[in-house]
Amino acid sequence: MKVSELGEFGLIDLLAKMIAEAQDGQPGYPPFLVGIGDDAAAWQGKNRTQLATVDSLIENIHFSLDTTSWEELGWKSLAVNLSDIAAMGGTPEYALVSLGLPDNTEVDDVSSLYRGMIELGKRYGVSLAGGDTCSSPVVMITVTVFGTEQDALLLRSNARPGDAIAVTGHLGGAAAGLEMLSRGLSPSAEIATSLRESINKPTPRLAEGQLLVGHGIRTAIDISDGFLVDLRHICEMSRVSARIDVDRLPVLPPVRQVFGDKALEMALTGGEDYELLFTGDSDHITRIQAESPCPITVVGEITGGNPGEIRLFDSSGNPVKIRQSGWEHFRKR
Asked if residue 38 is part of any domain, the answer here is no
For residue 321, give the 3-state DSSP assignment: coil
- The domain boundary residue, chosen from 121, 149, 177: 149
Pair 214, 114 in one domain: no
Could you give the CA distance from residue 229 to residue 294 in angstroms, rounded to a whole number? 23
Q: Which amino acid is at 308?
A: G
Is the model's pLDDT at 326 over the cut of 80? Answer: no
Section 81-103 average pLDDT: 96
pTM: 0.90
Sorting pLDDT into bands at 50, 70 and 90, what band is 331? Answer: low
Sorting pLDDT into bands at 50, 70 and 90, what band is 324? Answer: low
Pair 173, 264 in one domain: yes
Asked if residue 228 is part of any domain, the answer here is yes
User: How many domains does the chain contain in total?
Assistant: 2
**pLDDT tens by residue, 13-50:** 788 788 777 777 666 667 778 877 778 888 888 888 99
HEC readout, 142-170: EEEEEEEECCCCCECCCCCCCCEEEEECC
**pLDDT tens by residue, 138-196:** 999 999 999 999 789 999 999 999 999 999 999 999 999 999 999 999 999 999 999 99
Residue 45 has a pLDDT of 85
Pair 135, 169 in one domain: no
Residue 31 has a pLDDT of 73
Pair 171, 278 in one domain: yes
Pair 145, 169 in one domain: no
DSSP state of 11: H
Strand order in the sheet with 91-101: 41-44, 49-58, 140-149, 91-101, 127-135
Is the model's pLDDT at 333 over the cut of 60? Answer: no
Give the mean pLDDT of the chain. 92
Residue 332 has a pLDDT of 52
For residue 187, give the 3-state DSSP assignment: coil
Distance of CA 238 to the CA centre of its chain: 18
Pair 56, 135 in one domain: yes
CATH code of 80's domain: 3.30.1330.10
Do residues 250 and 169 touch, judged by C-beta distance below 8 A?
A: yes
* Percent of the chain scoring above 70 in pLDDT: 95
For residue 301, give the 3-state DSSP assignment: strand
The alpha-helical segments, DSSP class H, found in the chain are 3-6, 8-23, 70-87, 107-124, 173-183, 189-200, 206-214, 227-238, 253-259, 262-269, 282-291
Could you give the CA distance from residue 240 to residue 279 in angstroms, rounded to a whole number? 12
Domain of residue 138 covers 51-149
**pLDDT tens by residue, 60-78:** 999 999 999 999 999 999 9
**pLDDT tens by residue, 229-264:** 999 999 999 999 999 999 999 999 999 999 999 999
- The domain boundary residue, chosen from 149, 177, 206: 149
Asked if residue 113 is part of any domain, the answer here is yes
Residue 325 has a pLDDT of 59
CATH code of 246's domain: 3.90.650.10
Is the model's pLDDT at 330 over the cut of 50? Answer: no
Is the model's pLDDT at 283 over the cut of 90? Answer: yes
Q: How far apart are the first and last CA of the chain?
A: 17
For residue 291, give the 3-state DSSP assignment: helix
Name every residue whose Cβ is closer than 8 Å to that of residue 94 and which is 6 or more positions away in sequence. Answer: 126, 127, 128, 129, 145, 146, 147
Do residues 258 and 195 touch, judged by C-beta distance below 8 A?
A: yes
Pair 173, 284 in one domain: yes
Asked if residue 252 is part of any domain, the answer here is yes
